[in-house]
Structure 1
Amino acid sequence: MNSTTLNIANRFCGPPNSGNGGYVCGLVANHMQQPSQVTLHAPPPLDTDLQIHPKGDGLELKLGEQLLASARPYTFDLDIPAPPSLQEAEQAQERFIGFGQHNLPGCFVCGPSREAGDGLRIFTGSVCDHQGQVAAVWTPAEDLCDADGLVASEFLWAALDCPGYFAVQPVSGPALLGRFSARIEQPVRAGEALIVSAWAISHDGRKHNAGSALYRSNGERVAHAEATWISLKR
């Protein structure tokens, strides 16, 4: 693969001046053409031409000489708990802690200050009778689709990202995405109500592992992911 240019539009921010981690990982993974894990090394700036370079059997995302992200071939085997029902997910999102306090209210995925049709507005809250699980409902809009009318994979990666944070947040506190890998199992079309679910897997010092998944309203899984979140130094 020759070097290619990647530009993250301002709309797809996580923190105010850098790309949403899951979205950026999804864009980078698109260039791997095989199952992969993406590691974020530095905040990827917005509206800036970045370069993707091949590196061994993977690739690197750079701004000049600065390494922003790297990808490597990777497959994972995730122990996935039973999903909540659509009704449980609808009720869970009413308990989204970000409504009261949100460190990144403008995040493309989970920011409550983003308008409908602009941000994804995925507000995962705790699920009753599913200990340690958070959930919400997400209906993808048509402007997220590719030329085939299917929701582009980078938006599915994004939707799987922030829920994992809210699953580990009670232990992690403020944290940023470190590593991420997602597997898209079935195509998704705009206008389809999806159940978003996430759960904590393990905690080790400042590292926190989470799983997340997307389901159709009947409980059929369409995608899942695993993530490592890194607590910010206090």
Structure 2
Amino acid sequence: MSGLVASHTPVSDDAPAVSVRLHLPPPLDRQLVLEPGAPGAADARTMLRDGDDVVASAVAAPSPAGEVPAPVTLEVARDAESRGITAEQHPFPTCYGCGPLHPDGLRIRSGPVTGRPGLYAATWTPRETSPPEVWAALDCPGGKAAGFPTTLMVLGTMTAQVLVPPAVGVEHVVLSWSRGDEGRKRHASSVLLTADGRLLAHAEQTWIAIDRPV
């Protein structure tokens, strides 16, 4: 959903990325209204509404900052996937991005990289290159690096920039890592790389820890 809102948000040379904030859990049982940001308007803001309630908003933002870890090979990423969480361990097994039981989902299974503390990796072979699909590939890996599912959390904000669309049908690598905690906030980053380590997309997320249901 974040990628859909982002794809209707105009960017500029000074603000080539998009920052999406989730205000409410998106309802899945009814249609929402998307109000695209006006091209050329200062601080153009895209809104996703459920009636009078704002579910998500997006605005152009500077490129994600911070150093990107050294890339890993496809073989290392596949090894990391072997330590990803299973369907039995997943609190939301039908999640589109990483749920093992979603029939049409991406099923990205990020796992810890051996010998690289704090770094998570997975492979992804795109079926399409639309911004929502790339955003989905960057989303859940950040949550894994932030501590999900040991800590149950939901996405609060995500800022991402797609530099180059990935190639359909070609295996890529997704890396993610924690950027520290701040109270209930968990900060993480993720990147999409080609097999030879070229950076295609970069994202930063803030996750919000929530209480587990009793």
Kindly indicate whether residue 58 of structure 2 is the aligned counterpart of residue 71 of structure 1: yes
Residue number among 95, 104, 109 corresponding to 2:97 in the alignment: 109
**SS at structure 2 position matched to 1:198:** strand
Gaps of 5+ in 2: 12-16
Deviation for aligned residue 1:199: 0.2
Q: In structure 1, what is the equivalent of residue 116 of structure 2?
A: 130
DSSP-derived class of the 2:164 partner: coil
RMSD: 1.8
* Equivalent-residue separation in structure 1 for 2:18 and 2:163 (angstroms): 14
Q: Which residue of 2 is the match for residue 185 of structure 1?
A: 163
**Offset of 1:57 from its aligned partner?**
2.6
> Normalised by the size of structure 2, how large is the TM-score?
0.88
User: CA–CA distance in 2 between the matches of 1:89 and 1:68?
Assistant: 34
2:147 is paired with a residue whose SS is helix
Identity %: 39
What's the counterpart of residue 83 of structure 1?
Answer: 71
Q: Deviations over 1:44-85 (max 9, x none)?
A: 223632223359631221111011011122113132111221
3-state secondary structure, aligned to 2:95: coil
Answer yes or no: is 1:33 the counterpart of 2:10.
yes
Cα pair 2:10 2:60 within 8 Å, conserved: no
2:73 aligned partner, one-letter code: S
Per the alignment, residue 207 of structure 2 pairs with 229
Question: Residue 172 of structure 1 contacts residue 208 of structure 1 at CA under 8 Å; is this kept in 2?
Answer: no
Query: How many Å apart are 1:172 and its aligned residue?
Result: 6.8
CA contact under 8 A between 1:84 and 1:130: conserved in structure 2? no
The answer on 1:176 being equivalent to 2:154 is: yes
CA distance in 1, matches of 2:29, 2:71: 37
When the two structures are aligned, how many residues end up with a matched partner?
201
Judged with a 3 Å threshold, the aligned counterparts in structure 2 of structure 1 residues 172 and 36 are, in CA distance, closer, same or farther, namely farther
- Bigger share in helix: 1
2:83 to 74, 83, 95: 95
Distance in structure 1 (CA, Å) of the matches to 2:102 and 2:29: 19
- Which consecutive residues of structure 1, in runs of 5 or more, have no partner in the other structure? 1-23, 146-150
> Which deviates the most, 38-47 or 201-210?
38-47
Residue aligned with 1:173, SS? coil
TM-score (norm 1): 0.81
CA distance in 2, matches of 1:230, 1:203: 10
Alignment of 1:155-174 (within 5 A): 155-169=133-147, 173-174=151-152
Q: Distance in 2 between the 1:134 and 1:155 partners?
A: 20
Is residue 92–residue 127 contact of structure 1 (8 Å, CA) maintained in 2? yes
